Structure 1
Amino acid sequence: MPIMISSSDLMKAVGRSGRLVPFFKAVCVYFVVGGGAPSLSAAALKCAPVLCLLLCVLVRAHTAPQPQRWYAHCVATGLALSAAGDALLVWPQHFVAGMVAFAGAHVAYILAFGLQPRAYGAALALFAGALAYVRAVPAPAPLRALVPAYALLLAAMAWRGSARAGYQRPGALLFLLSDAILGYGLFAEPVPYNQALVMSTYYLGQLGIALSALEPARAVAAPQ
Protein backbone atom coordinates (compact mmCIF):
# COMPACT_ATOMS: atom_id res chain seq x y z
CA MET A 1 0.00 0.00 0.00
CA PRO A 2 1.54 3.36 -0.98
CA ILE A 3 2.37 5.68 1.88
CA MET A 4 2.39 9.02 0.09
CA ILE A 5 -0.24 10.69 -2.07
CA SER A 6 0.94 11.89 -5.46
CA SER A 7 1.71 15.57 -5.88
CA SER A 8 -0.87 15.83 -8.68
CA ASP A 9 -3.62 14.55 -6.38
CA LEU A 10 -2.55 17.02 -3.69
CA MET A 11 -2.58 19.94 -6.11
CA LYS A 12 -6.06 18.97 -7.33
CA ALA A 13 -7.32 18.98 -3.74
CA VAL A 14 -5.66 22.30 -2.99
CA GLY A 15 -6.80 23.89 -6.23
CA ARG A 16 -10.42 22.85 -5.95
CA SER A 17 -11.21 26.24 -4.46
CA GLY A 18 -9.43 29.19 -2.95
CA ARG A 19 -10.16 28.12 0.61
CA LEU A 20 -6.51 27.27 1.36
CA VAL A 21 -4.98 30.42 -0.12
CA PRO A 22 -4.84 32.16 3.32
CA PHE A 23 -2.95 29.16 4.71
CA PHE A 24 -0.27 29.34 2.03
CA LYS A 25 0.02 33.10 2.38
CA ALA A 26 0.40 32.76 6.15
CA VAL A 27 3.12 30.12 5.70
CA CYS A 28 5.00 32.41 3.32
CA VAL A 29 4.75 35.33 5.74
CA TYR A 30 6.00 33.16 8.59
CA PHE A 31 9.08 32.00 6.69
CA VAL A 32 9.87 35.54 5.52
CA VAL A 33 9.39 37.48 8.76
CA GLY A 34 8.60 34.88 11.48
CA GLY A 35 10.83 33.66 14.28
CA GLY A 36 12.96 36.03 16.28
CA ALA A 37 12.62 36.87 19.95
CA PRO A 38 9.57 35.60 21.86
CA SER A 39 6.71 38.06 21.49
CA LEU A 40 3.00 38.18 20.81
CA SER A 41 3.68 39.04 17.17
CA ALA A 42 6.02 36.05 16.81
CA ALA A 43 3.35 33.80 18.32
CA ALA A 44 0.69 35.22 15.99
CA LEU A 45 2.83 34.65 12.90
CA LYS A 46 3.58 31.08 13.97
CA CYS A 47 -0.05 30.22 14.74
CA ALA A 48 -1.60 31.90 11.70
CA PRO A 49 -1.23 28.99 9.20
CA VAL A 50 -2.81 26.48 11.57
CA LEU A 51 -5.60 28.92 12.45
CA CYS A 52 -6.35 29.28 8.73
CA LEU A 53 -6.68 25.50 8.47
CA LEU A 54 -8.86 25.48 11.59
CA LEU A 55 -11.27 27.97 10.04
CA CYS A 56 -11.55 25.88 6.87
CA VAL A 57 -12.26 22.71 8.84
CA LEU A 58 -14.83 24.43 11.08
CA VAL A 59 -16.73 25.62 8.00
CA ARG A 60 -16.64 22.06 6.66
CA ALA A 61 -17.84 20.66 10.00
CA HIS A 62 -20.83 23.01 9.96
CA THR A 63 -22.17 21.61 6.69
CA ALA A 64 -20.92 18.01 6.69
CA PRO A 65 -23.14 14.99 7.35
CA GLN A 66 -22.25 12.38 9.95
CA PRO A 67 -19.75 10.73 10.35
CA GLN A 68 -17.79 13.37 8.43
CA ARG A 69 -18.96 16.01 10.93
CA TRP A 70 -17.52 14.01 13.84
CA TYR A 71 -14.25 13.61 11.96
CA ALA A 72 -14.06 17.32 11.13
CA HIS A 73 -14.85 18.35 14.71
CA CYS A 74 -12.08 16.10 16.05
CA VAL A 75 -9.60 17.47 13.50
CA ALA A 76 -10.67 21.04 14.36
CA THR A 77 -10.04 20.30 18.04
CA GLY A 78 -6.59 18.98 17.16
CA LEU A 79 -5.81 22.08 15.11
CA ALA A 80 -6.98 24.39 17.91
CA LEU A 81 -4.81 22.60 20.46
CA SER A 82 -1.89 22.66 18.03
CA ALA A 83 -2.25 26.42 17.64
CA ALA A 84 -2.20 26.74 21.43
CA GLY A 85 0.93 24.61 21.53
CA ASP A 86 2.54 26.72 18.81
CA ALA A 87 1.95 29.87 20.83
CA LEU A 88 3.22 28.38 24.09
CA LEU A 89 6.42 27.04 22.52
CA VAL A 90 7.41 30.53 21.42
CA TRP A 91 8.40 31.08 25.07
CA PRO A 92 10.92 28.45 26.31
CA GLN A 93 9.56 28.62 29.87
CA HIS A 94 6.23 27.25 28.58
CA PHE A 95 7.76 24.20 26.90
CA VAL A 96 5.94 21.66 29.10
CA ALA A 97 2.60 23.42 28.65
CA GLY A 98 3.18 23.41 24.90
CA MET A 99 3.88 19.67 24.96
CA VAL A 100 0.67 19.08 26.90
CA ALA A 101 -1.30 21.08 24.31
CA PHE A 102 0.19 19.02 21.48
CA ALA A 103 -0.48 15.81 23.39
CA GLY A 104 -4.15 16.85 23.48
CA ALA A 105 -4.00 17.48 19.73
CA HIS A 106 -2.71 13.96 19.13
CA VAL A 107 -5.55 12.51 21.22
CA ALA A 108 -8.06 14.48 19.11
CA TYR A 109 -6.48 13.22 15.89
CA ILE A 110 -6.52 9.62 17.16
CA LEU A 111 -10.24 10.00 17.90
CA ALA A 112 -10.74 11.29 14.36
CA PHE A 113 -8.76 8.50 12.69
CA GLY A 114 -10.45 5.72 14.68
CA LEU A 115 -9.19 2.22 15.46
CA GLN A 116 -9.93 0.48 12.16
CA PRO A 117 -8.13 -0.95 10.27
CA ARG A 118 -5.68 -2.21 12.88
CA ALA A 119 -2.48 -2.12 10.76
CA TYR A 120 -0.43 -3.99 13.36
CA GLY A 121 2.70 -3.91 11.21
CA ALA A 122 2.67 -0.11 11.14
CA ALA A 123 2.03 -0.04 14.89
CA LEU A 124 5.02 -2.27 15.58
CA ALA A 125 7.32 -0.22 13.37
CA LEU A 126 6.23 3.16 14.76
CA PHE A 127 6.27 2.19 18.44
CA ALA A 128 9.62 0.43 18.08
CA GLY A 129 10.96 3.51 16.32
CA ALA A 130 9.67 5.78 19.08
CA LEU A 131 11.30 3.67 21.80
CA ALA A 132 14.59 3.55 19.88
CA TYR A 133 14.43 7.31 19.39
CA VAL A 134 13.96 8.15 23.08
CA ARG A 135 16.85 5.84 23.97
CA ALA A 136 19.13 7.41 21.37
CA VAL A 137 18.04 10.99 22.13
CA PRO A 138 17.49 11.10 25.92
CA ALA A 139 15.70 14.13 27.30
CA PRO A 140 17.12 16.10 30.24
CA ALA A 141 16.20 14.92 33.72
CA PRO A 142 13.16 17.22 34.27
CA LEU A 143 11.59 15.82 31.07
CA ARG A 144 12.81 12.22 31.41
CA ALA A 145 9.28 10.84 31.94
CA LEU A 146 7.26 13.33 29.89
CA VAL A 147 9.17 13.05 26.61
CA PRO A 148 8.90 9.24 26.25
CA ALA A 149 5.18 9.41 27.04
CA TYR A 150 4.75 12.12 24.43
CA ALA A 151 6.79 10.13 21.89
CA LEU A 152 4.56 7.08 22.33
CA LEU A 153 1.41 9.20 21.95
CA LEU A 154 2.86 10.78 18.81
CA ALA A 155 3.64 7.32 17.44
CA ALA A 156 0.06 6.27 18.19
CA MET A 157 -1.26 9.25 16.25
CA ALA A 158 1.03 8.44 13.30
CA TRP A 159 -0.07 4.79 13.44
CA ARG A 160 -3.75 5.61 13.30
CA GLY A 161 -3.25 8.28 10.66
CA SER A 162 -1.22 5.97 8.41
CA ALA A 163 -3.50 2.96 8.86
CA ARG A 164 -5.72 3.88 5.92
CA ALA A 165 -5.23 5.72 2.64
CA GLY A 166 -5.99 9.43 2.61
CA TYR A 167 -4.38 12.82 3.01
CA GLN A 168 -4.07 12.22 6.75
CA ARG A 169 -1.50 9.48 6.06
CA PRO A 170 1.33 11.72 4.83
CA GLY A 171 0.06 14.41 7.22
CA ALA A 172 0.46 12.25 10.31
CA LEU A 173 3.87 10.95 9.22
CA LEU A 174 5.15 14.45 8.44
CA PHE A 175 3.96 15.63 11.86
CA LEU A 176 5.96 12.77 13.39
CA LEU A 177 9.03 13.73 11.35
CA SER A 178 8.74 17.36 12.39
CA ASP A 179 8.70 16.51 16.09
CA ALA A 180 11.58 14.05 15.63
CA ILE A 181 13.74 16.77 14.08
CA LEU A 182 12.70 19.23 16.78
CA GLY A 183 13.56 16.80 19.57
CA TYR A 184 16.93 15.92 18.07
CA GLY A 185 17.85 19.58 17.79
CA LEU A 186 16.78 20.23 21.38
CA PHE A 187 18.23 17.17 23.11
CA ALA A 188 21.10 15.91 20.92
CA GLU A 189 22.89 18.39 18.69
CA PRO A 190 22.08 21.37 16.46
CA VAL A 191 20.42 20.53 13.16
CA PRO A 192 21.32 22.62 10.08
CA TYR A 193 18.33 24.66 8.88
CA ASN A 194 16.47 23.39 11.94
CA GLN A 195 13.62 25.92 11.90
CA ALA A 196 12.98 25.50 8.18
CA LEU A 197 12.94 21.70 8.45
CA VAL A 198 10.78 21.57 11.57
CA MET A 199 8.21 24.12 10.47
CA SER A 200 7.94 23.05 6.83
CA THR A 201 7.25 19.42 7.75
CA TYR A 202 4.94 20.57 10.55
CA TYR A 203 2.81 22.83 8.35
CA LEU A 204 2.66 20.20 5.60
CA GLY A 205 1.64 17.61 8.18
CA GLN A 206 -1.17 19.79 9.49
CA LEU A 207 -2.23 20.52 5.91
CA GLY A 208 -2.53 16.81 5.14
CA ILE A 209 -4.64 16.18 8.23
CA ALA A 210 -6.85 19.18 7.48
CA LEU A 211 -7.30 18.09 3.85
CA SER A 212 -8.58 14.73 5.05
CA ALA A 213 -11.38 16.59 6.83
CA LEU A 214 -12.11 18.86 3.89
CA GLU A 215 -12.51 16.14 1.25
CA PRO A 216 -16.25 15.41 0.78
CA ALA A 217 -15.73 11.84 -0.45
CA ARG A 218 -13.42 10.73 2.34
CA ALA A 219 -14.45 7.53 4.12
CA VAL A 220 -14.19 8.25 7.83
CA ALA A 221 -14.42 6.08 10.88
CA ALA A 222 -17.43 6.40 13.14
CA PRO A 223 -16.81 7.33 16.79
CA GLN A 224 -15.45 4.40 18.80
Structure 2
Amino acid sequence: MLRSHDSRGIWTNMAAHGRESGRRRTPDPLLLALRLGPFFASCALYFLLWLPSDEPSWTSALVKCLPVLCLALLVHTTAPSGPYGRFIWVGLLCSALGDVFLIWPDQFLFGTTAFAAAHLFYVRALGWLPLRPALLGSVLATFGLYFGVLQPHLPSSLHLPTLVYAAVLGLMLWRALARGTPAALGGLLFSVSDTVLAWDTFVRPLPAGRLIVMVTYYSAQALLALSAVDS
Protein backbone atom coordinates (compact mmCIF):
# COMPACT_ATOMS: atom_id res chain seq x y z
CA MET A 1 0.00 0.00 0.00
CA LEU A 2 2.84 2.35 0.79
CA ARG A 3 4.51 1.69 -2.58
CA SER A 4 1.16 2.18 -4.34
CA HIS A 5 0.59 5.49 -2.55
CA ASP A 6 4.13 6.65 -3.40
CA SER A 7 3.62 5.72 -7.05
CA ARG A 8 0.43 7.72 -7.26
CA GLY A 9 2.25 10.68 -5.71
CA ILE A 10 5.09 10.43 -8.21
CA TRP A 11 2.73 10.31 -11.19
CA THR A 12 0.72 13.24 -9.80
CA ASN A 13 3.88 15.31 -9.42
CA MET A 14 5.05 14.40 -12.92
CA ALA A 15 1.70 15.37 -14.43
CA ALA A 16 1.69 18.67 -12.56
CA HIS A 17 5.23 19.37 -13.75
CA GLY A 18 4.24 18.59 -17.34
CA ARG A 19 1.31 20.96 -17.20
CA GLU A 20 3.52 23.67 -15.71
CA SER A 21 6.30 23.25 -18.27
CA GLY A 22 3.78 23.32 -21.11
CA ARG A 23 2.44 26.69 -20.13
CA ARG A 24 3.70 29.80 -21.83
CA ARG A 25 6.17 31.63 -19.67
CA THR A 26 4.78 35.05 -18.79
CA PRO A 27 7.50 37.67 -18.27
CA ASP A 28 7.35 39.69 -15.07
CA PRO A 29 5.95 43.11 -16.17
CA LEU A 30 8.20 45.14 -13.87
CA LEU A 31 11.33 43.24 -14.87
CA LEU A 32 10.40 43.55 -18.54
CA ALA A 33 9.86 47.31 -18.16
CA LEU A 34 13.31 47.62 -16.60
CA ARG A 35 14.86 45.63 -19.43
CA LEU A 36 13.14 47.91 -21.94
CA GLY A 37 14.76 50.91 -20.25
CA PRO A 38 17.73 51.10 -22.66
CA PHE A 39 15.34 50.99 -25.63
CA PHE A 40 13.23 53.86 -24.29
CA ALA A 41 16.33 55.86 -23.35
CA SER A 42 17.87 55.45 -26.81
CA CYS A 43 14.55 56.41 -28.46
CA ALA A 44 14.45 59.53 -26.30
CA LEU A 45 18.03 60.34 -27.33
CA TYR A 46 17.13 59.99 -31.00
CA PHE A 47 14.09 62.26 -30.77
CA LEU A 48 15.87 64.80 -28.56
CA LEU A 49 18.74 65.10 -31.02
CA TRP A 50 16.36 64.73 -34.00
CA LEU A 51 19.08 63.89 -36.50
CA PRO A 52 17.16 63.24 -39.76
CA SER A 53 17.81 66.80 -40.94
CA ASP A 54 21.53 66.67 -40.11
CA GLU A 55 24.31 65.72 -42.50
CA PRO A 56 24.82 61.93 -42.70
CA SER A 57 27.45 60.75 -40.25
CA TRP A 58 28.41 57.68 -38.27
CA THR A 59 27.13 59.45 -35.16
CA SER A 60 23.66 59.86 -36.63
CA ALA A 61 23.78 56.26 -37.88
CA LEU A 62 24.61 54.98 -34.39
CA VAL A 63 21.92 57.08 -32.72
CA LYS A 64 19.32 55.90 -35.24
CA CYS A 65 20.05 52.17 -34.97
CA LEU A 66 20.72 52.12 -31.20
CA PRO A 67 17.07 51.51 -30.17
CA VAL A 68 16.86 48.47 -32.44
CA LEU A 69 20.19 47.16 -31.13
CA CYS A 70 18.79 47.50 -27.60
CA LEU A 71 15.80 45.40 -28.66
CA ALA A 72 18.12 42.81 -30.19
CA LEU A 73 19.99 42.60 -26.88
CA LEU A 74 16.67 42.24 -25.03
CA VAL A 75 15.62 39.33 -27.25
CA HIS A 76 19.04 37.69 -27.05
CA THR A 77 19.09 37.78 -23.25
CA THR A 78 15.39 37.32 -22.42
CA ALA A 79 13.57 35.31 -25.09
CA PRO A 80 13.06 31.59 -24.46
CA SER A 81 15.45 29.37 -26.37
CA GLY A 82 14.10 28.26 -29.72
CA PRO A 83 13.89 29.28 -33.37
CA TYR A 84 11.30 32.04 -32.89
CA GLY A 85 13.52 34.19 -30.72
CA ARG A 86 16.61 33.49 -32.83
CA PHE A 87 14.97 34.57 -36.08
CA ILE A 88 13.47 37.71 -34.52
CA TRP A 89 16.92 38.53 -33.15
CA VAL A 90 18.56 38.19 -36.57
CA GLY A 91 15.75 40.26 -38.10
CA LEU A 92 16.45 43.04 -35.62
CA LEU A 93 20.15 42.99 -36.47
CA CYS A 94 19.33 43.23 -40.19
CA SER A 95 17.02 46.16 -39.40
CA ALA A 96 19.80 47.94 -37.52
CA LEU A 97 22.05 47.46 -40.54
CA GLY A 98 19.31 48.90 -42.75
CA ASP A 99 19.06 51.92 -40.45
CA VAL A 100 22.76 52.55 -40.93
CA PHE A 101 22.62 52.26 -44.73
CA LEU A 102 19.61 54.57 -45.03
CA ILE A 103 21.45 57.41 -43.30
CA TRP A 104 23.26 57.87 -46.62
CA PRO A 105 20.84 58.47 -49.54
CA ASP A 106 23.16 56.80 -52.06
CA GLN A 107 22.95 53.56 -50.04
CA PHE A 108 19.18 53.30 -50.45
CA LEU A 109 19.24 49.94 -52.24
CA PHE A 110 21.53 48.41 -49.61
CA GLY A 111 19.22 49.66 -46.88
CA THR A 112 16.16 48.29 -48.65
CA THR A 113 17.90 44.93 -49.10
CA ALA A 114 18.77 44.78 -45.39
CA PHE A 115 15.18 45.49 -44.40
CA ALA A 116 13.87 42.93 -46.90
CA ALA A 117 16.17 40.37 -45.26
CA ALA A 118 14.83 41.42 -41.85
CA HIS A 119 11.27 40.80 -43.00
CA LEU A 120 12.19 37.37 -44.34
CA PHE A 121 13.68 36.44 -40.97
CA TYR A 122 10.51 37.72 -39.29
CA VAL A 123 8.45 35.57 -41.67
CA ARG A 124 10.60 32.56 -40.80
CA ALA A 125 9.96 33.23 -37.11
CA LEU A 126 6.22 33.80 -37.50
CA GLY A 127 5.74 30.56 -39.43
CA TRP A 128 2.98 29.43 -41.76
CA LEU A 129 0.27 28.26 -39.38
CA PRO A 130 -2.49 29.23 -39.17
CA LEU A 131 -2.39 29.87 -42.93
CA ARG A 132 -5.40 32.24 -43.24
CA PRO A 133 -5.27 32.71 -47.05
CA ALA A 134 -8.07 35.31 -47.01
CA LEU A 135 -5.71 37.62 -45.15
CA LEU A 136 -3.14 37.22 -47.90
CA GLY A 137 -5.67 38.32 -50.50
CA SER A 138 -6.54 41.43 -48.52
CA VAL A 139 -2.88 42.33 -47.99
CA LEU A 140 -1.99 41.81 -51.67
CA ALA A 141 -4.94 43.91 -52.83
CA THR A 142 -4.04 46.76 -50.47
CA PHE A 143 -0.34 46.74 -51.31
CA GLY A 144 -1.04 46.40 -55.03
CA LEU A 145 -3.33 49.43 -54.97
CA TYR A 146 -0.78 51.47 -53.03
CA PHE A 147 2.06 50.49 -55.36
CA GLY A 148 -0.06 51.47 -58.35
CA VAL A 149 -0.47 54.96 -56.88
CA LEU A 150 3.20 55.21 -55.87
CA GLN A 151 4.79 53.80 -59.03
CA PRO A 152 4.44 56.90 -61.28
CA HIS A 153 6.40 58.92 -58.71
CA LEU A 154 9.33 56.50 -58.46
CA PRO A 155 12.54 56.74 -60.48
CA SER A 156 12.53 54.00 -63.10
CA SER A 157 15.54 52.36 -61.45
CA LEU A 158 13.51 51.82 -58.28
CA HIS A 159 10.39 50.26 -59.82
CA LEU A 160 11.52 46.65 -59.47
CA PRO A 161 13.32 46.98 -56.09
CA THR A 162 10.30 48.76 -54.60
CA LEU A 163 7.91 46.13 -55.95
CA VAL A 164 10.04 43.31 -54.53
CA TYR A 165 10.32 45.04 -51.17
CA ALA A 166 6.57 45.68 -51.06
CA ALA A 167 5.94 41.98 -51.73
CA VAL A 168 8.27 40.94 -48.89
CA LEU A 169 6.73 43.50 -46.52
CA GLY A 170 3.26 42.25 -47.45
CA LEU A 171 4.36 38.67 -46.77
CA MET A 172 5.58 39.67 -43.31
CA LEU A 173 2.35 41.56 -42.59
CA TRP A 174 0.26 38.54 -43.63
CA ARG A 175 2.13 36.19 -41.32
CA ALA A 176 2.12 38.69 -38.44
CA LEU A 177 -1.64 39.21 -38.72
CA ALA A 178 -2.16 35.46 -38.85
CA ARG A 179 -0.13 34.95 -35.68
CA GLY A 180 -1.95 37.62 -33.65
CA THR A 181 -0.85 40.24 -31.14
CA PRO A 182 1.68 41.63 -30.38
CA ALA A 183 3.26 40.54 -33.67
CA ALA A 184 0.14 41.55 -35.62
CA LEU A 185 0.26 45.11 -34.31
CA GLY A 186 3.99 45.19 -34.95
CA GLY A 187 3.48 44.14 -38.56
CA LEU A 188 0.75 46.74 -39.06
CA LEU A 189 2.87 49.55 -37.62
CA PHE A 190 5.85 48.51 -39.74
CA SER A 191 3.65 48.70 -42.83
CA VAL A 192 2.33 52.12 -41.80
CA SER A 193 5.89 53.34 -41.26
CA ASP A 194 7.09 52.19 -44.67
CA THR A 195 4.06 53.44 -46.59
CA VAL A 196 4.28 56.88 -44.96
CA LEU A 197 8.03 56.95 -45.65
CA ALA A 198 7.50 56.11 -49.32
CA TRP A 199 4.82 58.77 -49.73
CA ASP A 200 6.85 61.39 -47.86
CA THR A 201 9.96 60.61 -49.93
CA PHE A 202 8.62 60.10 -53.44
CA VAL A 203 5.18 61.76 -53.67
CA ARG A 204 5.07 64.82 -51.42
CA PRO A 205 6.33 65.70 -47.94
CA LEU A 206 3.79 65.12 -45.19
CA PRO A 207 3.34 67.26 -42.07
CA ALA A 208 5.37 65.54 -39.35
CA GLY A 209 5.98 62.75 -41.84
CA ARG A 210 9.40 61.76 -40.52
CA LEU A 211 8.15 61.82 -36.95
CA ILE A 212 5.29 59.47 -37.86
CA VAL A 213 7.72 57.19 -39.69
CA MET A 214 10.10 56.83 -36.76
CA VAL A 215 7.48 56.53 -34.01
CA THR A 216 5.66 53.76 -35.87
CA TYR A 217 8.94 52.10 -36.84
CA TYR A 218 10.38 51.90 -33.33
CA SER A 219 6.99 50.81 -31.96
CA ALA A 220 6.77 48.06 -34.58
CA GLN A 221 10.21 46.72 -33.77
CA ALA A 222 9.45 46.79 -30.04
CA LEU A 223 6.25 44.79 -30.53
CA LEU A 224 7.99 42.20 -32.69
CA ALA A 225 10.73 41.90 -30.07
CA LEU A 226 8.14 41.50 -27.30
CA SER A 227 6.44 38.75 -29.29
CA ALA A 228 9.71 36.82 -28.97
CA VAL A 229 10.08 37.54 -25.26
CA ASP A 230 6.53 36.25 -24.72
CA SER A 231 6.84 33.29 -27.12
TM range (shorter): 0.7 to 0.9
Q: Select 2:41's aligned residue among 21, 25, 43.
A: 25
The 3 A distance-change label for structure 1 pair 18 and 159 is same
Q: Distance in 2 between matches of 1:120 and 1:13?
A: 34
Q: Distance in 1 between matches of 2:140 and 2:172?
A: 11
Q: Which residue in the other structure is 2:75 paired with?
A: 57
Q: Which amino acid aligns with 1:22?
A: P
The 3 A distance-change label for structure 1 pair 121 and 30 is same
Deviation of 1:165 (Å): 2.1
Contact 1:14 1:20 in 2 (8 A): no
Offset from partner CA, 1:86-118 (integer Å, 9 cap, x none) = 000000000000000000000000000000111
Contact 1:57 1:72 in 2 (8 A): yes
Question: Residues 44-83 of structure 1: matches in 2 within 5 Å?
Answer: 44-61=62-79, 64-65=80-81, 69-83=82-96
Q: Distance in 1 between matches of 2:155 and 2:203?
A: 10
Q: Which amino acid aligns with 1:162?
A: L
* Structure 1 gaps, min length 5: 1-11, 219-224
Q: Distance in 1 between matches of 2:201 and 2:214?
A: 14
Q: Which residue in the other structure is 1:103 paired with?
A: 116
Deviation of 1:17 (Å): 4.2
Q: Which amino acid aligns with 2:109?
A: V
Q: Distance in 1 between matches of 2:195 and 2:178?
A: 20
The 4+ residue runs of structure 1 with deviation greater than 3 A are 12-17
Q: Select 1:196's aligned residue among 211, 219, 224.
A: 211
Q: How many residues align?
A: 200
Contact 1:34 1:45 in 2 (8 A): no
Q: Which residue in the other structure is 2:12 paired with?
A: none
Q: Distance in 2 between matches of 1:14 and 1:77?
A: 26
Q: Select 1:140's aligned residue among 137, 149, 155.
A: 155
Cα RMSD (Å) of the superposition? 1.4
Contact 1:19 1:56 in 2 (8 A): yes
TM-score (norm 2): 0.83
Contact 1:88 1:95 in 2 (8 A): yes
Q: Distance in 2 between matches of 1:13 and 1:171?
A: 19
Q: Counting helix residues as a fraction of each chain, which structure ranks higher?
A: 2
Deviation of 1:16 (Å): 3.8
Deviation of 1:13 (Å): 4.7
What SS does the aligned partner of 1:75 have? Answer: helix
TM-score (norm 1): 0.86
Q: Which amino acid aligns with 1:183?
A: A
Deviation of 1:72 (Å): 0.5
The 3 A distance-change label for structure 1 pair 122 and 131 is same
Deviation of 1:34 (Å): 3.3
Contact 1:34 1:42 in 2 (8 A): no
Q: Which amino acid aligns with 2:164?
A: A
Q: Distance in 2 between matches of 1:82 and 1:164?
A: 21
Contact 1:131 1:148 in 2 (8 A): no
Q: Distance in 2 between matches of 1:74 and 1:16?
A: 20
Q: Which amino acid aligns with 2:70?
A: C
Q: Distance in 1 between matches of 2:221 and 2:47?
A: 16
* Structure 2 gaps, min length 5: 1-27
Q: Which residue in the other structure is 1:128 paired with?
A: 141
